[in-house]
Amino acid sequence: MEETLTQNETFESRNLFIKATGSIKRGNFLNAKQYLEEAVKIAPDNPAYLSMLGLCEAKEGDISRGKSLCSRAANIAPDEPMPYVNLGKILLMEKGRRKEARDVLLKAYRIDRRNLEVAMELSRMGIRRAPVLSFLPRQHRLNVIMGKLRHYLLNWIKRA
């Protein structure tokens, strides 16, 4: 079976990428990062390599570098959903960036509605209900307390 390569990769860089994705699936982001750094040296403009390296950088603690790499990958391939998915995952790691992450993931979803990873990330985020008191910000103490009360009551009604 003949393996096809994209314009920005070699067999060696593709092999390193495959090893990196295996490491990511096992949760070993440091190992994956090392493979991806080598792959990026060979194919520096490959958006898949850059965005996965960005995710690994963020998982290893360098969130700003991770965002930068994913943004660069998205600029190189604006019609590919994965750089946006990885950028969304990184934004979810940062406190207070949930809405921005959702917007980025929705952009990926608009690019490819059949991409399972996009759908999974969006479903993990869940759907938030509107604030109880819409004239107050979501973080306002009254909205927080009343939202918890609403949640409790709705769950109690479901069980009854």
User: 116 with 53, same domain?
Assistant: yes
User: 40 with 78, same domain?
Assistant: yes
> What is the average pLDDT across 40-64?
93
Residues 6+ positions from 66 with CB-CB distance below 8 Å: 54, 55, 56, 57, 58, 59, 90
Amino acid letter at 90? Answer: I
> What is the average pLDDT across 37-46?
92
**Per-residue pLDDT reduced to its tens digit, 87-135:** 999 999 998 888 899 999 999 999 998 999 998 998 888 877 889 999 9
118 contacts 101 by C-beta, under 8 angstroms: no
- Apex CA 124: angle with CA 35 and CA 92, to 5°? 60
User: 24 with 99, same domain?
Assistant: yes
Residues 6+ positions from 106 with CB-CB distance below 8 Å: 122
70 contacts 55 by C-beta, under 8 angstroms: yes
Higher-pLDDT residue of 3 and 10 is: 10
Name the average pLDDT for the chain: 90
User: 107 with 147, same domain?
Assistant: no
Does 60 have pLDDT greater than 90?
A: yes
pLDDT band of 4, cuts 50, 70, 90 = low
**What does the H/E/C string look like for 30-95?**
HHHHHHHHHHHHHCCCCHHHHHHHHHHHHHCCCHHHHHHHHHHHHHHCCCCCHHHHHHHHHHHHCC
Residue 15 lies in a domain: yes
What is the pLDDT at residue 123?
A: 87
User: 84 with 26, same domain?
Assistant: yes
Residue 6 lies in a domain: no
User: 82 with 143, same domain?
Assistant: no
User: 82 with 63, same domain?
Assistant: yes
User: 39 with 109, same domain?
Assistant: yes
User: 27 with 67, same domain?
Assistant: yes
Of 76-85, 113-122, 140-149, the one with minimum mean pLDDT is: 113-122
User: 154 with 77, same domain?
Assistant: no
User: 30 with 100, same domain?
Assistant: yes
User: 103 with 35, same domain?
Assistant: yes
33 contacts 57 by C-beta, under 8 angstroms: yes
> Which residue range(s) make up the domain with 36?
11-127
> What is the average pLDDT across 13-30?
93
Query: pTM for this structure?
Result: 0.75
Per the structure, how many domains does the chain have? 2
pLDDT band of 1, cuts 50, 70, 90 = very low
